[in-house]
Amino acid sequence: MSRIAKILIVLIIIFALLAALSGFYEKWIWFKDLGYSQLFWTPILSKVLFQFVNGTILFGFIMGTLLSIRHAIITFINTRFQRIRKVQDVDRPGFSISKKRITVLLIVISAVISYAFSFISGFTGWLEVLMFLNAAAFGKGDPIFGRDLAFYFFKLPFFQTVFNAFYIPLFLLTLLTAVFYFITGVLRLHSLKIWRRNSIEIGVSARRHLALLIGILLLMKAFGYFLNVYQLLYSVHGHVVGAGYTDLNATLPALKILTGLTILGALLAWGGLALKEVRLLTMPVLGIFLLGIILDGIYPSLIQSWIVVPNELNKEAPYIQNEIAMTRYGYGLDKIMEQNYPGNTPLTVGSLKTNQSTINNIRLNDVRPMMQTYTQKQGIRLYYKFNDIDIDRYTINNEYRQLMLSARELSTPDLDAKAKTFVNMRLKYTHGFGVAASFANAVTSEGLPSFAMKDVPPVTDFPELKLQEPRIYFGELTNDWVVANTSTKEFDYPQGNTNAEDSYKGKTGIRLTGLNKLMISLHHGTFQLYLANEINSESRFLIDRNIKDRVQNLAPFLSYDADPYLVIADGRLKWIIDAYTTSDKLPYAGNYPNHSFNYIRNSVKVIIDAYDGTVDFYAVDPSDPVLQTYSRIFPGVFKDLSQMPGSLQSHLRYPETLFTIQANILKTFHMTDPSVFYNKEDAWGIPQELYEAKPQDIDPYYTILQMPDTGKPEFVLMLPFTPASSQTNTRNNMVSWMAARMDGDRYGQLVLYTLPKNIEIDGPLQIESRIDQDPSISQQLTLWNQKGSTVIRGNLLVLPVGGNFLYVEPIYLQAQQSGSIPEMKRIVLAYQDKLVMTDNLGQAFVQIFGNNAPQPSTLGQNTPVTPAVPLPQVTPAAPQANLDVNTILNQINQARSILDNLEKQIKGTTGETTPATP
């Protein structure tokens, strides 16, 4: 082989090694760039260490076994070679393998098998080991054994991991050893008493070896039975999640007996070494196997069928109580403060004025149709996209107001096909620009959202919303890597015949120096980083720009909310992601449907800068033992909440995802009496509303309310409840409502308001039915639907006000042709038996409560609020020679509707109110 060929082979090998390591290298410098090196090294070093320990223990077992059968192997090999010798080789010396050589070979085989198995299969329990070593106490015990819950969260999983890691390999090792002895005839020779000295010695050695392995295996099985005792607290029998009557009165004693018997069996197996009784090896194993089937299988099933099922409530009541208590703890329902709410207190002008802040913030704009409006009105260019609209609160002009806000991100897949060059996709179009924001309760005269911030560059009349850095390099749609701060300026936004441009000056980003550039090029399979003249040593390589992927890669042991939200703080755009600590190890608590957790806490808030991608983890629930454990494993990662700037703390929201989970659990677990819970006598359901003419569950909604126990407006997340429906019984009246508070020291408080059971209060779907049954309203909606337009009924909001409820629903109209924008045309307001549909909310209050009724704030409102009641839009029929009967009846109904509304207007101006037509 020539020298050049050798050099090429060496270069290829080096190149292949660098390519294989390039992903690891890129990941390391990315973690280092963000300041989280320990989040990179702790898992890796832990896995290597634990895999080495695991491999060493396996090596000990395998090597011990192989060395124990070494003499049998040597005899077997030598005997087989003797038998296959040719006739002409009889007088020649026979083949014989030395003991030293076979020993070295067996040690090498043991090492290769054990460490290869350990490292190839991987050690998935590294986090369980670290949590075991750093466990934080809960200060709360389980209801059966009284052990601190930390045992179930951190210690029992570790013990289970150890058992699973060694029991199966040990079982296979014992089985293969026995098979080897039978194949080689060692056990058969001894059992037939062939009294050749070597055979007898090998047989005795084999018996001792198997006795040792079987004894260890039985001890491991006893340990497994011990663990199964605590696993009973996760069992499911009948109506109980967790240990029930059968588990504690049949299975538990059986497991204790089996634990004792397996320990005794191990001792008997080892005793067989001294007594030279082979049956002491087999009898314990067979006996334990048969008793296990009877005690741990048949007996509990008989107890469950004959004793528990006929008297289930009586037998299971104490354990149902345990399930209720632990489930409420696992989902945070035990901290809910319950209060009574009258629901039928008459509202007056005075009580409405007391709740002026609630009226000022009634959300009229529905997020669902508004997405089309944002895209059409604020998209500016095809490559600008709005992923979703977030609802938050801001103090604007000294008023506490709800704001709807969405990031204007850049979507490179929507660039023109001819513009999708390397320079454009990776160097030029690198970031979005600014946000669009509108008031939750304000619309223009055209029925469109009233924008508090709009256009590019962003324009706003409110100093609180002004942006110093509007660029968005990191967002929900930024899925590709880019190179920033090159010699080519980056696109900012279109500006007349030219484009505004800028260069990245952020803190983060991998510098494209020599080694970095090489490894990144190898990892991404491109040499464009070398070919592009625009890239220099000061350029920054930005990866993992999707904020959800970014935090998931940094801290995968946390669970993250699927809906990040954007806030304006100190002139910058910041993403906030809710992070959860979850576990499925809580005793007596069932997993949330279609998920694998029965314990959840919103313990962490993650802040990501939209411009430079810096990430900060803040501990908002430092009392959570799971978070405390993570903090011990990764010291310095989780910052104290006091370190979060006040401008960000004022925008922390109670997550809708967690609230939804809690609401779904509360539907059943608000019943704390075991008998009521067992019979599901008072089960609740999530109310429904109509959207696109179909009933659907109401989602929790953010709003600003004056809570019953305070006179100040608060930003809350709320949801009403109705009785649970069945196939034979459907009740849509409201029975309670829950709110999550999130302002100041009240952040995270849950309050459940229950309504009197002796009165009926309309639920959302009943209000929807009343809207459909109102002659004037249904007629107008029908007319709109027949004229090339589609009526969209927005969110039906149930708002607690002054001990009663107001129901508000916006009505949108959208033309059926493509590209049309939904426009808000009417507002429906309901109160007790009154129901009106008007042009705006102020008119609705006047019609129901009179001319002195308080009016919503005009901040951001482009349409004046007038007390006049508009006449319904009635289009006269075209002149016809012969009118049919249906046309005449239709016009009569329209005329009657006009007269009815005139009567309402006249009575409204005198302060009288008119009940809705039944």
Strands 797-801 and 789-793, sheet pairing: unpaired
pLDDT higher than 70, residue 170? yes
Contact 737, 762 (CB under 8 A): no
> Residue 214: its pLDDT value, please?
83
- Angstrom CA distances, 62 to 44, 65, 68, 527, 609, stand at 26, 5, 10, 48, 53
Mean pLDDT of 308-314: 88
pLDDT tens for 720-778 read 999 998 655 678 899 999 999 999 999 999 999 999 999 999 999 999 999 999 999 99
- Average pLDDT in the chain: 85
Contact 303, 249 (CB under 8 A): yes
C-alpha 775/C-alpha 759 separation (Å) is 27
> Residue 906: its pLDDT value, please?
46
* pLDDT band at residue 882 under the 50/70/90 scheme: very low
pLDDT higher than 70, residue 122? no
* pLDDT band at residue 81 under the 50/70/90 scheme: low
- 66-70, 327-331, 420-424, 555-559: segment of lowest average pLDDT: 66-70
Give yes or no for a cis peptide into 342 (omega within 30° of 0): no
User: For 37-125, where are the alpha helices, taking DSSP H only?
Assistant: 37-68, 70-83, 99-121
Q: What is the dihedral of CA 457, 460, 462, 467, to 10 degrees?
A: -10
CA contacts within 13 A on the Cβ side of 902: 6
In three-state form (DSSP H/G/I as H, E/B as E, the rest C), the secondary structure along 136-175 is CCCCCECCCCCCEHHHHHHHHHHHHHHHHHHHHHHHHHHH
pTM of the full predicted structure? 0.87
pLDDT higher than 70, residue 148? yes
